[in-house]
Chains A and B, each alone.
Chain A
Amino acid sequence: MRRLSPSRAVLLVARREFLGKVRTRSFLIGTVVIVAVLAGYVLLQAVLFDQSNRSTVGLSGQSTVLAEPLRETARQFGREVATTDVTDPAAAEEQVRKGDLDVLITGAPDALRVVVKENLNSALQNALDTIVRQQVLNAQLAEADLDPNVVAAKMAAAKVTVVALEPEDSQQGQRLAIGLVIAALLYYSLLVYGTMVAQGVVEEKSSRVVEILLATLRPWQLLLGKVMGLGAVGLLQLVLIGGIGLVLSSTTGVIDLTGVASGALATGVLWYLLGFFLYATIFAAAASLVSRQEELQSVVTPISTVIIIAFVVGINLLIQDPSGTTVTVLSMLPPFAPILMPGRMAIGVAPLWQVLLAVVLAIGAVAAITWLGGRIYSNAVLRTGSRVKLRDALR
């Protein structure tokens, strides 16, 4: 007699679920669309960032010597400047009119004439004013027989000391963005692939193929294989999207905390595994109570709602204050932890004890839910016809 080991049984089921989904057009298109949207967003950010912070300045005649000081001074005022030497001021003025050049500078260093299309960017204005004043100052210092460089060095050394009572993390904005993106990715993955498990369970029930399968498989083998197979599809998509997003955003310079982002993706993957086992088992158990796709919505909605609330409410709380009491407590509770905790970890506001507590609680919940959900599934999956009452399924 040929034997089928339980592990091979589970793997066969998982392989069918995985290949069945990965080879579909909808998976391919779905992934490409999400990656494209993400890439588009990152590139848009990069372009906007670039445009809003960079000015192209044309320098003509004597003013060409200002190229280097202008770039440096402008940077101090928070503005990137690209300079080009201009030989034909008239043609250059035409370029300013068309928008190819932002600024055209002509004249002697101490009496500059600045041509712009509409108005001069204030940072650039400040930079130019500073340069012109510096030129005048240098000339005066030279007349008074002082070395302009010594004066400049002394001036540079004179600084105020700032004492911040609650110092702002300069990386806070980026960290928050990374945290929100990872929370959004987990929200999407848990919801989409959890629902997919529910649909798969009902498909097997409504097509009655479950009767053939359970003549050769134990219910837990079918359930575990399904959860593992579809979970792997979700994981693949999460890693693909997250990885491409990471590479794009760091190469385009939209984020420079590549380490934080990679770490967030890694913890995101771990939280996905915990969250998926938790939610997929609940989805499967709920779906096993009904026999037709039309009835599925009614049992799945309460579960989706919890995920949606975790995301929508959680995101708002995270943006307001990622260390707030409500979001801190929520991020440790199993139903919300898989979405909120990786977000808080990326933002850098989750102390180790909170993370560990959340993980322990989540593992405990997974164990309890697997037991309970497995029981409901085993009892209900062969009962076709009207909706099985939860009470009957638990007997």
Chain B
Amino acid sequence: MWWDTAVRPHSMPPVRRIARGVTNQEESTVAQGVLEIDRISKRYGEVVALRDMTFEVRAGELFGFVGSNGAGKTTAMRIALGVLAADSGEVRWNGAPITFETRRRIGYMPEERGLYPKMKVLEQLVYLAELHGLTTNDAHRSAENWIARLGVRDRRNDEVQKLSLGNQQRVQLAAALVHEPDVLVLDEPFSGLDPVAVDVMSQVLREKASAGVPVVFSSHQLDLVERLCDRIGIVRSGAMVACGTVDELRAGGETRLVVDAPGAANGWAADVPGVRVVETRGTRTTLELTADADDQAVLHAALATGPVREFSRQRPSLTELFRNVVTEEETA
């Protein structure tokens, strides 16, 4: 599959290979509806913000962008939007380098929220829609539509600064959507939202993706990203260190087993090759198996100690995967 890519920066030591595949620029040069970030680098003086950052977001796809603070997510998004210039590399839309005119078709939600505090909600959205090329009538229609959709209709004639932060966030999302963009780039859209607003936001993003719009957003809420996104990219120190579906990110890593064998003595599994005991809690033992270890040998060893009440494969959550990737990098 074209998106099965593990992008590894040349300058960094080899990391765990999460997914296999070809590098994207070989196959997808004339992709339709694809936003490609191709080997973007950016330095702020001595600080390297991005090094050869590469990923792509395809039509109809929700792409989650995760990474520690300062990893380079915001810089990458700002470069994609053209509010920041890259030192090298290219951003492409539908296979062609992105231009100022095509950038107008992106819906953008900056990390630091940006609206005129003293402008009324509706006026503000109409203005932004017009600035993106809508006629006045279309701008009004679209603004009213999104205001209603995002549940801020009764605040449409209030100044933005008088709204609660959560409602300001909804207006901010409406500002990104009001010109019916072809691409959505959202920096931390879920931060500061209440659960209801999170649901509304998730639904809207899902809907946009289903309508064929590539959606990329960054977030620290990894459970949400895991639940919502088709693909996920993990960023560290300005480079993409892992990229793929959650299953792909899980594949190739150590397998964890939880075994509940009440009759077993300590160290019962120590002799099975490729097995490491992670934790023993009461009668339950958590084991970590290398890729070539045989889980059936573990089961046999467990049964040899007496009854086995539980034998389960533990699927690491995105949070655990993320932690693994990031800490591995740090210790490497």
Chain A residues close to B by CB (< 8 Å): 1-4, 9, 12-13, 16, 20, 203-204, 207-218, 382, 384
Chain B residues close to A by CB (< 8 Å): 78, 81-84, 100-106, 108, 110, 112-119, 127-128, 130-134, 175
Q: Can you add 12 more A-B contacts, CB < 8 Å, to A204-B116, A382-B84?
A: A1-B133, A2-B134, A3-B133, A4-B131, A207-B115, A210-B114, A211-B114, A213-B131, A215-B106, A216-B131, A216-B132, A382-B83
Q: Please determine whether A207 and B114 come into contact, CB atoms closer than 8 angstroms.
A: yes
Contacting residues, chain A, for B103 (C-beta < 8 A): 215-216
Contacting residues, chain B, for A214 (C-beta < 8 A): 83
Task: Report the Cα distance A182→B128, complex, angstroms.
Answer: 39
B104 in complex: contacting residue of A4, A13, A203, CB < 8 Å = A4
Contacting residues, chain B, for A216 (C-beta < 8 A): 103-104, 128, 131-132
Q: Please determine whether B131 and A3 come into contact, CB atoms closer than 8 angstroms.
A: no
Task: Report the Cα distance A9→B106, complex, angstroms.
Answer: 17
The 11 listed contacts between A and B (C-beta, < 8 Å) are: A1-B102, A2-B132, A3-B133, A16-B127, A204-B116, A209-B115, A211-B78, A212-B115, A215-B81, A215-B82, A217-B131
B100 to chain A, nearest CB (A): 7
Contacting residues, chain A, for B131 (C-beta < 8 A): 4, 9, 12-13, 213, 216-217
Contacting residues, chain B, for A12 (C-beta < 8 A): 127, 130-131
Q: Provide the main secondary structure of the chain B interface.
A: loop
A-B contact count (CB 8 A): 68
A218 in complex: contacting residue of B100, B105, B106, B108, CB < 8 Å = B100
Given A2-B133, A4-B132, A207-B114, also A212-B105 (CB < 8 A):
no
Top 9 nearest A-B pairs (CB, nearest first) are A208-B114, A2-B133, A209-B114, A4-B133, A208-B112, A211-B110, A215-B81, A212-B114, A216-B104
Q: Please determine whether B110 and A212 come into contact, CB atoms closer than 8 angstroms.
A: yes
Which among B100, B103, B114, B119 has the highest number of chain A CB atoms within 10 Å?
B114
B108 in complex: contacting residue of A2, A203, A212, A382, CB < 8 Å = A212
CB nearest to B124 among chain A residues:
A209
Contacting residues, chain A, for B134 (C-beta < 8 A): 2
Task: Report the Cα distance A207→B105, complex, angstroms.
Answer: 23
Task: Report the Cα distance A203→B160, complex, angstroms.
Answer: 14
Contacting residues, chain B, for A209 (C-beta < 8 A): 114-116
CB nearest to B127 among chain A residues:
A16
Q: Please determine whether B114 and A3 come into contact, CB atoms closer than 8 angstroms.
A: no
B233 to chain A, nearest CB (A): 22
Contacting residues, chain B, for A217 (C-beta < 8 A): 131
Q: Please determine whether B112 and A211 come into contact, CB atoms closer than 8 angstroms.
A: yes
Contacting residues, chain A, for B119 (C-beta < 8 A): 20
Task: Report the Cα distance A218→B175, complex, angstroms.
Answer: 19
